[in-house]
Structure formats: structure tokens, C-alpha cells
Amino acid sequence: MQRKKKLQENSASFGVIGLGRFGSALVECLSKAEKEVIAIDKDETRVKGARRFTDFAMVVESLDQEALEETGIQNCDTVIICIGEQMDISILTTMTVLNMDVPHVVSKANSYMHGEVLKRLGAQVVYPERDMAIRLGKGLIYHSFLDSVALEGNVEVRRIQVTDSLIGVSVREADTRGKYGLNIVAIEHHQRTDVEFPSDYRFQEGDIICVIGQTGNMERFEQDMQ
């Protein structure tokens, strides 16, 4: 297992362990953003698929520290462990990567219990299937919902399509902060995003607002917009 060339210095680098659907899509996304990616799996077919996107795709039979260090993954800024289906291997691999002093470790979890264990180890936890289901559900419930990013403390950043109830209403009149505790941080209009806009700006058809605040307040706001 030898790397074909050195990772570029002064460039953010990523390691992806486990090349199932989630891991493979992650490698493709990071590589297309011109990030350096080390991709690891024990399956030769999956590794060959990853080699379309990165020169550093390697077959690794064992995920012990010695084998991982041979790949150079300890030099990455961020390592993502995408082995959610095998909880024991996921936990052990996460522990190993954390012991290698990687600055940022992200682990995929399949259940709440699995995620809690990974959090206690010190990893950032993601729940891809749950998060996708939540996004789909919100899109079905709130027709104005476009996309969201969940933050710590039950806070979200959400992109919301302006509905008829807001068209012609000014930012000041909408008073999302006073009524809902939400801050409008950007307005998208005609493929342009403005982060600095006057309080007398009146929402127009096709506008998209980027809002940040508590999830519960966000839900109330979207319900009122229906």
C-alpha cells in the first residue's frame, strides 16, 4: 500500500474509510471540489470505482493502526469513517483514528445508541439516512422548504421559498425576529444572493430567504406561511 504521490501541502485533505454508497459519494464530492482524498476499503471493486476520482484509493484488509498509518491517513485534516452498518468495526476504527491525533474525525452512525458511543469517543456523528428522511419529510410538510443545515443546540439554517403571504411585505413588516426569534441572513433574488439588504426591502415572487434560529420557531414560521 504505497501512495502514488504526496498530498499537496497547505491544502485541506480528507480520508474516507468505507466505500459503500455513502463513502463513495463523499469521495466523488470532495474530489470534484479539488480536495485531496485518501479512500480506503477492503473491497477491490469499490476501490477501483474510487480511483476514478482520486489517486489515493487503496485496498486495506485490516483497519488496525499500523495498516492505516501505512496509507498516510493520519496526515489528513479530516477523516470520515463510513462503516455504520458494522457497529463494532465502526467504533474500533473511530477509536484508532482518534488515537492517531487526526484533527477532525467524523463517523457515520446507524442508530442513536451507536451515535452516542461515537460521540463519547470524541467523534462528530452523522446519520445520513435519518437526516435524508427528515429533509424529505419537511419538504412534504412545508411546501416552502428547500434545504437546511442542522447546527448544535437545536438550531437550523434553512432556505425557504417566499410564499404569497409574504409577497409585497417588507423585511421590517415581516418582523421574523420579533415574532419568531428568527434572523434573515440572506435573500436570494434572480440568481443573486444579498447578505446586506434594507429593512424596507419588499419580498417578491421567486425570492428565497435564508433564515437561522431554533428549529421549533422555524416550524411555526413555515406553518404560518402556508
pLDDT at 94: 96
Q: Supply the range of the domain harboring residue 184.
A: 131-225
pLDDT at 6: 46
Confirm whether 7 is domain-assigned. Answer: no
Together in a domain, 109 and 137: no
pLDDT at 155: 86
pLDDT at 12: 76
pLDDT at 55: 92
pLDDT at 169: 93
C-alpha distances in Å from residue 110, one per residue of 84, 89, 137? 5, 13, 19
Together in a domain, 122 and 141: no
Q: Are 42 and 59 in contact (CB under 8 A)?
A: yes
Confirm whether 184 is domain-assigned. Answer: yes
Together in a domain, 112 and 38: yes
Q: Mean pLDDT, 10 residues at a time, over the chain (226 residues)?
A: 45 89 92 92 95 94 92 94 88 95 93 91 86 64 66 82 92 94 92 91 93 89 84
Q: How far apart are CA 139 and CA 128, in angstroms?
A: 16
C-alpha cell at 9: 501541502
Q: Of the candidates 157, 165, 147, 159, which has an alpha carbon nearest to the alpha carbon of residue 203?
A: 165
Q: Of the candidates 70, 103, 65, 105, which has an alpha carbon nearest to the alpha carbon of residue 56?
A: 70
Of 126, 150, 166, which one is at a domain's C-terminal end? 126
Together in a domain, 106 and 178: no
Together in a domain, 79 and 148: no
Confirm whether 1 is domain-assigned. Answer: no
pLDDT at 1: 45
Together in a domain, 107 and 51: yes
pLDDT at 184: 94
Together in a domain, 198 and 155: yes
Q: How far apart are CA 42 and CA 57, in angstroms?
A: 11
Q: Please give the model's pTM, rounded to 2 decimal places.
A: 0.67
pLDDT at 219: 86
pLDDT at 222: 86
How buried is 110 (Cβ within 10 angstroms: 0-12 exposed, 13-18 middle, 19+ buried)? middle
Q: How far apart are CA 142 and CA 225, in angstroms?
A: 9
Q: What is the CATH number of the domain that holds 144?
A: 3.30.70.1450
